[in-house]
């Protein structure tokens, strides 16, 4: 009998269970919900999770809804959904953990003897390593920011990273962030290091709209199409915009942030991304694009309250365009 945590994998059925990782300060166990859809036919296992950052709810809701909609009789292989991976952060409506202040997506592969977040990172990665053939990692702009719909893969030159790039081209996005090594502590980087192709999907932020939910759900369905786990054809774009690790923009002053461009805009060097105004309405800071040609991957929401040192925008250099790749053997 195959298990994912306590959830049994039963051919042709949907099952539920949990991964238990540590306990809260009152001793209550942290039981991370696990949803399993095991197809009527054999095939690979896709693991999809949300809420690595606890305030990014869109992915969690979309995983739950997609599992409800999926018919295991039409599926070849297994879908494992973990809607909320970081329960303390989720309960606190926070990007970081209230238990130890850690950003979970910067500390993989974790440490089984570390503070809670490090233990959680270790347990999650071990569960993926023993379960998953492919990983989808869902993120958004969280409460205070918005991101466009795009995908990230870790480019370490390995077969796993080339396969991640291939899958990212087939989930419905037209922009790919080729991460070249500045984020070794992410779940996707560490999954790739274990030989598991992993793709991060970014979408939305703030209120979870119907459009955001449908985009997240479409990435799962499209991945299942691409991997011949569901009938149908995955979408392939004529070309993909390729961006790479770039400038994270932090405010120098407190106040209210006023974006000057939409997310997904392409700006020239020196173009205005947004302003910070104080509570008298005076402009106290202007945030400008620092690179030659940048794709704006995130901005704070309109009139979002800021403090000095707050991440408020991401400007990613545009490397060029490319067509879809063939499946790496």
Give the Cα separation of 243 and 176 in Å (integer): 6
pLDDT in tens, 126-142: 999 999 999 999 999 99
3-state helix, strand, coil in the chain (%, to 5): 20, 35, 40
pLDDT at residue 83 in the model: 98
Residue 91 CB neighbours (<10 A): 13
Q: How far is CA 259 from CA 16, 204, 250, in A?
A: 42, 15, 13
Res. 24: pLDDT tops 80: yes
Give the Cα separation of 220 and 59 in Å (integer): 11
The answer, as to whether pTM is greater than 0.85, is yes
Res. 182: pLDDT tops 80: no
pLDDT at residue 184 in the model: 86
To the question of domain 247-320 being in CATH 2.40.50.100, the answer is yes
pLDDT at residue 329 in the model: 81
Res. 177: pLDDT tops 80: yes
Closest CA to 308 of 248, 259, 254: 254
Residues in the chain: 329
pLDDT band of 206, cuts 50, 70, 90: confident
Buried b (16+ CB within 10 A) or exposed e, 161-179: bbbbbbbbbbbbbbbbbbb
Give the Cα separation of 329 and 315 in Å (integer): 34
Strands (E), the chain: 3-4, 7-8, 13-23, 29-38, 41-49, 76-82, 134-139, 145-154, 175-179, 198-204, 240-244, 247-250, 255-259, 266-268, 272-277, 283-288, 293-300, 304-306, 311-322
pLDDT at residue 246 in the model: 86
User: How is the chain split into domains, by residue range?
Assistant: 3-240, 247-320
pLDDT at residue 249 in the model: 95
Q: What is the mean pLDDT of the chain?
A: 97
Average pLDDT rounded to a whole number, residues 79-84: 98
Q: Coil, helix or strand for 229? A: coil
Average pLDDT rounded to a whole number, residues 288-315: 96
pLDDT band of 278, cuts 50, 70, 90: very high
pLDDT at residue 230 in the model: 98
Task: Dump the DSSP string for 60-74.
Answer: HHHHHHHHHH--GGG
User: How far is Cα of residue 107 from the mean position of the Cα atoms in its chain?
Assistant: 15
What DSSP state is assigned to residue 181? S
Res. 156: pLDDT tops 80: yes
Average pLDDT rounded to a whole number, residues 251-260: 98
Closest CA to 216 of 86, 90, 64, 18: 64
Give the Cα separation of 203 and 3 in Å (integer): 31
Average pLDDT rounded to a whole number, residues 239-253: 95
Res. 44: pLDDT tops 90: yes
Res. 181: pLDDT tops 80: no
Strands (E), 155-224: 175-179, 198-204
pLDDT at residue 180 in the model: 84
Give the tokens for residue 25. Answer: 């300060």
Q: How far is CA 112 from CA 124, 130, 277, 315, in A?
A: 11, 16, 45, 35
pLDDT at residue 176 in the model: 98
pLDDT band of 1, cuts 50, 70, 90: confident
Q: Which CATH class is domain 3-240?
A: alpha beta
């Amino acid at each position: 009998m195959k298990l994912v945590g306590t959830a049994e994998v039963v051919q042709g059925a949907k099952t539920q269970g949990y991964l238990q990782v540590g306990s809260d300060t009152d001793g209550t166990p942290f039981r991370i919900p696990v949803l399993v859809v095991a197809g009527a036919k054999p095939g690979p296992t896709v693991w999809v999770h949300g809420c690595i950052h606890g305030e990014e709810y869109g992915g969690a809701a979309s995983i739950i809804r997609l599992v409800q909609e999926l018919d295991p009789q039409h599926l070849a292989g297994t879908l494992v959904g973990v809607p909320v991976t970081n329960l303390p952060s989720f309960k606190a409506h926070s990007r970081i953990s209230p238990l130890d202040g850690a950003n979970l997506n910067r500390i993989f592969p974790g440490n089984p003897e570390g503070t809670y977040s490090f233990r959680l990172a270790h347990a999650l990665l071990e569960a993926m390593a023993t379960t998953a053939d492919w990983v989808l990692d869902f993120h958004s702009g969280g409460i205070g920011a918005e991101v466009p719909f795009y995908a990230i893969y870790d480019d370490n030159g390995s077969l796993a990273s080339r396969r991640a790039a291939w899958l990212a081209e087939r989930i419905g996005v037209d922009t790919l962030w080729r991460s070249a090594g500045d984020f070794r502590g992410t779940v996707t980087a560490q999954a790739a290091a274990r030989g598991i192709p992993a793709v991060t999907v970014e979408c939305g932020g703030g209120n979870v709209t119907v459009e955001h939910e449908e985009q997240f759900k479409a990435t799962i369905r499209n991945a299942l199409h691409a991997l011949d786990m569901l009938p149908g054809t995955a979408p392939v774009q004529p070309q993909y915009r390729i961006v790479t690790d770039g400038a994270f923009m932090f405010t120098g002053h407190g106040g209210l942030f006023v974006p000057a461009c939409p997310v997904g805009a392409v700006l020239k060097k020196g173009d205005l991304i947004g302003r910070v105004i104080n509570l008298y309405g005076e402009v106290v800071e202007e945030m400008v694009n620092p690179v030659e040609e940048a794709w704006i991957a995130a901005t704070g929401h309109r009139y979002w309250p800021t403090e000095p040192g707050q991440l408020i925008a991401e400007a990613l250099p545009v490397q060029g365009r490319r067509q879809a790749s063939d499946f790496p053997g």
